[in-house]
């Protein structure tokens, strides 16, 4: 996710670098589904939520009554070159957009609705009554791109790699499976996950595309999976070629387990770092689809009825991280609450997302766990009367011993330089002086890791809209993990209950409670700022059977996507 702002910054840096160097040197058809060969098992009483309220989005559904047109190559932008082509290590959308379509996972998210989970390599699953054993029944006759057959051993070896990566391998999502104590393979087509405690989030985590399955023999050989020759999965597309800076190309896998799929002959991702170039390439018909976190040049698309520009609130949330270790006043909850009261989130939504985002809690507003809007409105600083909020903020500051306001450093990185200044402006209205310091990403991350900041602006970026993913990283009292040095034992206890709760409705209620209280009380020093939007630009008359989603990391296989021309 890169922005024009950052590009501009980088271009400037490049100019500076060149100058420095100069000085130094001398100076449709029926809706196609992934077609499970067997229907999923009827959910057992303890099956966690795999289908919950349908999201409401301003997206024109793709008509699916017409005949599918096969063939064609899908072209889209990549925000840059991929950085890590090992799916288990990769962390960026770019990486996933490149190699995601080459892999299958045990389960998958519905490409048209991220709140639904569908079968993939597992055709059905069941969960024991105590929630401690998950059994997946695997699809038979599946082949990897290198011709080797897919069996339960592949699943076992892959998850072992994700959970306990070998030396030199960084597995950012290993922690998702910290409740898995053992993986058994009773036969070639059955896998059993034995847990140390109930973990209803497991079904989501085996469905995220980052847990794609490689052949066991490849992993066991110790091969470097970042190498393009090792992009071997069972997915609908195979790796074709990669020229850095030019194109990442995939081709149709003729041996895909669903003989009807994929419809496309191939996919090409074009690394493009300049957003203007992306918009122009789209207008010239060179791209079928483009996505960005920054607002596209809407004026260029005006009056073009064939083009649809959709802004969907993302699963990412901008947040302020108050570090009480380095700034004593943050230990006083009145100071923290004054800050949340001072923020005008609706003004930021207007300014930064053209009004396309919505006020929400930490959980996604269109997702299964969403905190209802009327409840969000009740949280401190989320009400409609901003003037009253500001008065209250000033009063709280005075009570805390800062009648003349206070001053701290606000650390941000160069992805978005407008948001930090907006925050500083809003804080100034209650007498808080935030000195914004914009750093290059590398330097920023270093300061974050070392906890060298008073206040930092960053993302809360869940891999999937699920409570464990959303809260797991920061609802903690662990001094090594906490980014703020602040916590509430009561809320940690609540979170631990959510982690284990098997009853869907109860889990949802508890999540609402946690969501609301973390917004309102600021007991963890994390302040919700606003949810940016992902912009999707495409021609619905050409791109068929594809639906914009709030988290573009989850539905990138394109098995059922097709092109009308």
Partner 1 sequence: MFLQYLARRAIGGFLVVLLATFVVFVFIRVAGDPAALIVGGTGENITINPERVAQVRQQLGLDKPLILQFVDFLAGLITGGLGNSFVTGRPIADELRVRLPLTIEIALLSEFTAWIFALPLGLFSALRRGRFTEALTRIFFFVASAVPAYWLGLLVLIFVLLAFGWRPPLGLVPPTQNLWVHLQQIALPILVLGFVLAAGLVRFIRNAVLEVLQEPFVQVARAKGLAESTVVMRHVLRNAFAPTLAFSGLRVGYLLGGVVIVETTFNLPGLGLFFVEAVARRDFPVIQIAVLILGTAFVIINLLTDIACSLIDPRLRERG
List contacts with partner 1 (CB under 8 A). Answer: 1, 7, 10-11, 13-15, 17-19, 21-22, 24-27, 75, 80-85, 91-92, 168, 170, 172, 224, 226-227, 243-247, 270-274, 276-277, 280-281, 283-284, 286-287, 316, 413, 415, 440-446, 448-449, 458-459, 461, 473-474, 480-481, 483
Contact 37, 260 (CB under 8 A): no
CA distance 530 to 362: 10
Would you say 226 or 500 has its CB closer to partner 1?
226
Would you say 2 or 380 has its CB closer to partner 1?
2
Residue 458: its H or E element: strand 455-460
CA distance 3 to 419: 13
Q: What is the DSSP letter of 363?
A: S
Sign of CA dihedral 166, 169, 171, 172: positive
CA distance 420 to 245: 31
Tell me how far, at minimum, the Cβ of 41 lies from partner 1, in Å: 33
Give the chain's largest Cα–Cα span: 75
Contact 302, 283 (CB under 8 A): no
Would you say 5 or 185 has its CB closer to partner 1?
5
Contact 434, 424 (CB under 8 A): yes
CA-based nearest residue to 515, from 365, 318, 393, 330: 365
Would you say 15 or 186 has its CB closer to partner 1?
15
Would you say 155 or 317 has its CB closer to partner 1?
317
CA-based nearest residue to 512, from 371, 317, 359: 371
Tell me how far, at minimum, the Cβ of 449 lies from partner 1, in Å: 5
For 34, left (φ over 0), alpha (ψ -120 to 50), or beta?
A: alpha
Tell me how far, at minimum, the Cβ of 284 lies from partner 1, in Å: 4
Tell me how far, at minimum, the Cβ of 460 lies from partner 1, in Å: 9
Would you say 388 or 445 has its CB closer to partner 1?
445
Supply 303's token pair: 């009056």
Would you say 186 or 245 has its CB closer to partner 1?
245
Q: Cα separations (Å) of 193 from 104, 126, 197, 315, 405? A: 18, 11, 11, 28, 54
CA-based nearest residue to 175, from 468, 503, 515: 468
Would you say 149 or 245 has its CB closer to partner 1?
245
Q: What is the DSSP letter of 100?
A: G
Tell me how far, at minimum, the Cβ of 210 lies from partner 1, in Å: 11
Tell me how far, at minimum, the Cβ of 306 lies from partner 1, in Å: 14
CA-based nearest residue to 159, from 191, 137, 186, 197: 191
Would you say 29 or 440 has its CB closer to partner 1?
440
CA-based nearest residue to 70, from 559, 557, 541: 559
56 CB burial (10 A radius; 0-12, 13-18, 19+): exposed
Tell me how far, at minimum, the Cβ of 417 lies from partner 1, in Å: 14
Q: Which residue has the tokens 């999937």?
A: 464
Tell me how far, at minimum, the Cβ of 397 lies from partner 1, in Å: 28
Would you say 276 or 435 has its CB closer to partner 1?
276
Tell me how far, at minimum, the Cβ of 15 lies from partner 1, in Å: 5
CA-based nearest residue to 151, from 133, 137, 135: 137
Would you say 26 or 259 has its CB closer to partner 1?
26
CA-based nearest residue to 88, from 204, 225, 223: 225
For 37, other C-beta atoms within 10 Å of its C-beta total 11
Would you say 19 or 509 has its CB closer to partner 1?
19
For 538, other C-beta atoms within 10 Å of its C-beta total 21
């Amino acid at each position: 996710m890169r922005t024009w702002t950052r590009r501009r910054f980088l271009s400037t840096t490049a100019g500076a670098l060149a100058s420095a160097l100069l000085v130094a040197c001398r100076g449709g058809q029926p809706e196609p589904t992934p077609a499970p060969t067997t229907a999923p098992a009827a959910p057992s009483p303890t099956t966690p939520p795999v289908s919950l309220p349908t999201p409401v989005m301003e997206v024109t559904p793709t008509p699916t009554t017409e005949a599918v047109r096969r063939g064609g190559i899908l072209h889209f932008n990549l925000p840059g070159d991929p950085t890590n082509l090992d799916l288990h290590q990769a962390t960026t959308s770019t990486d996933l957009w490149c190699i995601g379509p080459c892999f299958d996972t045990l389960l998958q998210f519905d490409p048209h609705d991220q709140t639904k989970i569908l079968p993939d390599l597992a055709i059905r699953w069941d969960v024991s009554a105590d929630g401690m054993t998950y059994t997946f029944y695997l699809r038979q006759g599946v082949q990897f791109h290198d011709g080797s057959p897919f069996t339960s051993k592949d699943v076992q070896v892959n998850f072992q790699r994700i959970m306990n990566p070998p030396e030199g391998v960084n597995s950012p999502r290993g922690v998702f499976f910290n409740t898995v104590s053992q993986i058994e393979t009773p036969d070639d087509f059955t896998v059993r996950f034995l847990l140390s405690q109930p973990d209803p989030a497991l079904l989501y985590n085996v469905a995220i595309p980052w847990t794609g399955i490689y052949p066991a023999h490849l992993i066991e050989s110790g091969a470097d999976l970042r190498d393009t020759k090792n992009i071997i999965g069972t997915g609908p597309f195979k790796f074709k070629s990669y020229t850095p800076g030019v194109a990442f190309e995939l081709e149709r896998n003729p041996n895909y387990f669903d003989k009807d799929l994929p419809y496309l002959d191939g996919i090409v991702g074009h690394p493009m770092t300049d957003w203007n170039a992306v918009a122009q390439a789209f207008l010239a018909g060179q791209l079928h689809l483009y996505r960005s976190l920054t607002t596209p040049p809407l004026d260029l698309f005006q009056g073009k009825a064939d083009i649809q520009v959709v802004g969907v609130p993302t699963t990412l949330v901008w947040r302020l991280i108050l570090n009480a270790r380095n700034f004593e006043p943050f230990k006083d909850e009145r100071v923290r609450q004054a800050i949340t009261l001072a923020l005008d989130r609706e003004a930021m939504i207007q300014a930064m997302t053209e009004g396309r985002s919505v006020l929400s809690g930490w959980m996604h507003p269109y997702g299964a766990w969403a905190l209802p809007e009327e409840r969000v409105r009740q949280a401190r600083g989320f009400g409609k009367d901003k003037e009253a909020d500001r008065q209250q903020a000033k009063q709280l500051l005075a009570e805390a011993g800062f009648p003349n306001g206070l001053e701290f450093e606000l650390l941000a990185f160069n992805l978005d330089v407008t948001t930090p200044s907006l925050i500083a402006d809003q804080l100034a209205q209650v007498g808080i002086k935030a000195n914004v310091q914009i750093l290059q990403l590398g330097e920023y991350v270093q300061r974050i890791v070392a906890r060298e900041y008073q206040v930092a602006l960053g993302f809360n970026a869940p891999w999937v809209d699920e409570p464990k993913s959303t809260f797991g990283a920061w609802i903690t009292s662990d001094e090594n993990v906490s980014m703020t040095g602040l916590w509430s034992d009561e809320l940690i206890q609540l979170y631990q209950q959510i982690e284990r709760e098997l009853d869907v409705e109860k889990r949802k209620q508890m999540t609402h409670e946690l969501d609301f209280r973390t917004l309102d009380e600021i007991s963890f020093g994390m302040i919700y700022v606003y949810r940016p939007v992902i912009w999707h630009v495409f021609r619905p008359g050409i791109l068929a059977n594809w639906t914009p989603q709030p988290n573009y990391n989850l539905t990138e296989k394109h098995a059922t996507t097709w092109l009308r021309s």
